[in-house]
Amino acid sequence: MSTDKVKIGIIGGSGLSNPEILKNGYEVSVDTPYGKPSDALICGEIEGVACVLLSRHGRGHKINPTNVNYRANLWALHQVGCTHLLVTTACGSLQPDMHPADIVVIDQFIDRTQKRQQTFFDGEPTSPPGICHLPMAEPFCPRTRKILYNCAKELSISCHEKGTMLTIEGPRFSSRAESKLWNSWGAHCINMTTVPEVILAKELGLCYAALALVTDYDSWKDDEEAVNVENVMKTFQTNAANATAVILRAIPQIVKEDWAATIEENKKFVKMNTLLPHS
Ligand code: ADE
């Protein structure tokens, strides 16, 4: 596949949406049937590949995880032609073998959110027709995940090949009792944004993969300081460069591969699982 068929969206989490990684960057303000995204899209090139940057919480971190308009963010990136989404997210560790500064190329999620729209197929006249019951056995794009993991390894970054992200509603962190429960469930890490972002990306047929950057031990671990904003931001800022390095290395590798069949399959999958109105 030639580079002009692949366009890579990058959604930066808390502290990672640095527009300087793009060449020839320019801003595009878009509107969608679901409202406005968190910020203007910043379009440009990385290693000669068309890329689009979006700050999940808006530049200056103005939008809390519940109020992020995930549908508008994902629709906007799809509307400008993105085929792939590489996202970063800060997260807490829920297991003893995951440590602050590690990266997890998550492959599963557990949904503990309560107040979010999880589908574009909402019956509104401006939405796609039908009801989509999207299978979620494999939420993330395995091909894109593999490239991210290999790039992290090549860079000698401490990286886990897979992991289950538990997404809470927030904005508060978990109580100690909750955190111990998530740990007993076998979830590996915890954040506030993977759901519904990955679900909506799948509804649009996008190849979506996430680099979860561990910033803290949440509050299950009795011998560690419980999560707070200071330890999250400090660890994230110190280690965000690792996530950026993985993304910069992955982009040329993604473009080298042929994605036509995968993108076609993704679209077919959504179609197959959408019930259209009939009389
Ligand atoms: N983001 C970073 N650390 C987190 C935690 N412990 N819980 C939820 N979201 C987080």
Dump pLDDT digits (tens) for 252-264.
999 999 999 999 9
Q: Is 218 a catalytic residue?
A: yes
Q: From the CA of 172, how far away is ligand 1's center (Å)?
A: 9
Q: Is 258 a catalytic residue?
A: no
Choose one of 109, 110, 169, 190 to mutate for the ligand 1 pocket test, by most ligand atoms within 8 angstroms of C-beta: 190
Residue corresponding to tokens 């890490």: 189
Dump pLDDT digits (tens) for 7-35.
999 998 655 556 778 889 999 999 999 99
Which amino acid is residue 46, in one-letter code?
Answer: I
Atom index in ligand 1 nearest the CA of residue 219 equals: 6
What is the average per-residue pLDDT within 177-189? 98
Which amino acid is residue 169, in one-letter code?
Answer: E
Question: Which band of pLDDT confidence, cut at 50, 70 and 90, is reported for residue 239?
Answer: confident
Q: Does residue 232 line the site of ligand 1, with CB under 6 A?
A: yes
Q: Does residue 14 line the site of ligand 1, with CB under 6 A?
A: no
What is the average per-residue pLDDT within 56-67? 93
Q: Does residue 94 line the site of ligand 1, with CB under 6 A?
A: no
What is the average per-residue pLDDT within 235-243? 90
If you average pLDDT over every residue of the chain, what do you get?
95
Cβ 266 vs Cβ 144: under 8 Å:
no
Q: From the CA of 15, how far away is ligand 1's center (Å)?
A: 14
What is the average per-residue pLDDT within 233-258? 94
pTM score of the predicted model: 0.96
Q: Pick from 274, 266, 271, 272: which is nearest to 122 by CA? A: 274
Q: From the CA of 193, how far away is ligand 1's center (Å)?
A: 10
Choose one of 64, 68, 91, 229 to mutate for the ligand 1 pocket test, by most ligand atoms within 8 angstroms of C-beta: 91
Q: DSSP states of 71-104 as a string?
A: HHHHHHHHHTT--EEEEEEEEEE-STT--TT-EE
% of the chain beyond a pLDDT of 90: 89
Q: From the CA of 92, how far away is ligand 1's center (Å)?
A: 4
Cα–Cα distance, 12 to 53 (Å, whole number): 7
Q: Does residue 92 line the site of ligand 1, with CB under 6 A?
A: yes
Q: Which of 4, 111, 216, 223 is catalytic?
A: 216
Q: Pick from 195, 209, 78, 205: which is nearest to 132 by CA? A: 205
pLDDT the model gives residue 4: 57
